[in-house]
Amino acid sequence: MNRKIQILLIVFLLFDGPLFASDNGSYKRAYEMESVSTLFAIPLYEQTIGTNNSKNLQKAAVSRLFYLYKKHNKFIEALFLGTRYSNIIPSKDKTSIWKSLVEIYKPVSYELLTTSYQLAMKSSIENHSEILSFLREYREPKLFEFVFILLYKRKQFDLILNLLEKEPMLTSSPLYAGMANLRLNPEKGREYLASLPSDLEKDTGMKSDLLYLLGQYYRAVGENSISARYFRMSGSYLWPDRAKIETSKSLVLAGNFSEACQTYQFTSSPNEEVMQIFYLVCNKKDKAFLKEIRASIKALGSKDGGEFFQKVSQSLERWDS
């Protein structure tokens, strides 16, 4: 789903001098990366706020990171950051995030989105009656999609499955339960897929989702070439853009970067790291720029689920040799 939301934000930085002391190298790297790529400055700022910093340095890093999340339409990440550092991020800046999310999740209202966020953030496997009652009351697919993304990013996979077990009508798609099961255990995910009724395949959207989930399963067990085939097949039914990015990632993980480049054309994607890397490698072949963002690619590779970026780093090292 491609939505280009223009965000205008006046940001100022009140800190200088001590921020660039030798013991604050991570902030300096992130700040300097902004002149190269604001998108690829993000993982460096994420690393910075995860370390022990002075109060002023932490405030500066959080403020810059929040600004960059907004600039690159990473609205859920901005919400989480604003909640975690509510003493740093002004309320008016958080309000602009909600305005963008209301546009994305139409027809869900601002009130429903903010309420669901508050309930999701305090929910757990032991305490989720409020969020379940709330979702049951409104039965809006876009609202459940929003809650799913919040819980998935928080790695609350058991909670997602618990909600769907107690209220299967929250969604008609197998995608949500399938993704949560696969993240908990790949074999559990495969068992879930095998248990689904065969008539689901009559719907092109469902068929695409099922093939996509099989692609995720084979990637999870290290069968990346098989994974790429299932992702590619999923795009023949629906959501070809999703299939393109996941097929390409699996090809890289299988050691076939060149095949990904030969199979697809990639355009500049200034808000999405994976597609931007493919554009830089396959279409632009910009070795100098890729070298400049190498630290950012390594930082992305150090995150949970960063295997693709680890493989990219290895490929770029061979490219240089």
Q: Write out the two tokens for 225.
A: 């070439």
- Among 169, 172, 189, smallest CA distance to 180 is for 189
Task: Give the distance between the most distant pair of CA atoms in the chain.
Answer: 65
Per-residue pLDDT of the chain (321 residues; tens, 9 = 90+): 433 333 222 222 333 334 444 347 899 999 999 999 999 999 999 999 988 888 999 999 999 999 999 999 999 999 999 999 999 999 999 999 999 999 999 999 999 999 999 999 999 999 999 999 999 999 999 999 999 999 999 999 999 999 999 999 999 999 999 999 999 999 999 999 999 998 887 899 999 999 999 999 999 999 999 999 999 999 999 999 999 999 999 999 999 999 999 999 999 999 999 999 999 999 999 999 999 999 999 999 999 999 999 999 999 988 876
| DSSP-derived secondary structure letter, 24 | G
Is 312:261 a contact under the CB 8 Å cutoff?
no
pLDDT of the residue at 321: 66
Is 276:297 a contact under the CB 8 Å cutoff?
no
Distances (CA, A) of 58 to 40, 45, 108, 303: 19, 10, 35, 20
Cα separation, 151 vs 145, whole angstroms? 10
- Among 32, 24, 30, smallest CA distance to 52 is for 24
Task: Output the CA torsion 216→217→221→222 (10° steps).
Answer: -40
Amino acid 195 reads S
Q: Is 7 helix (H, G, I), strand (E, B) or coil?
A: coil
Backbone torsions φ then ψ of 299, nearest 5 degrees: -65, -40
Cα separation, 223 vs 183, whole angstroms? 16
Cα separation, 60 vs 154, whole angstroms? 25
SS (H, E, C) 309-321: HHHHHHHHHHHHC
Cα separation, 181 vs 194, whole angstroms? 12
* Residue 7: Cβ within 10 Å count: 15
DSSP for 63-80 reads HHHHHHHHHTT-HHHHHH
Distances (CA, A) of 91 to 50, 88, 121, 154: 23, 9, 18, 23
- Among 283, 204, 274, 285, smallest CA distance to 244 is for 274
Q: Is 293 helix (H, G, I), strand (E, B) or coil?
A: coil
Amino acid 13 reads L
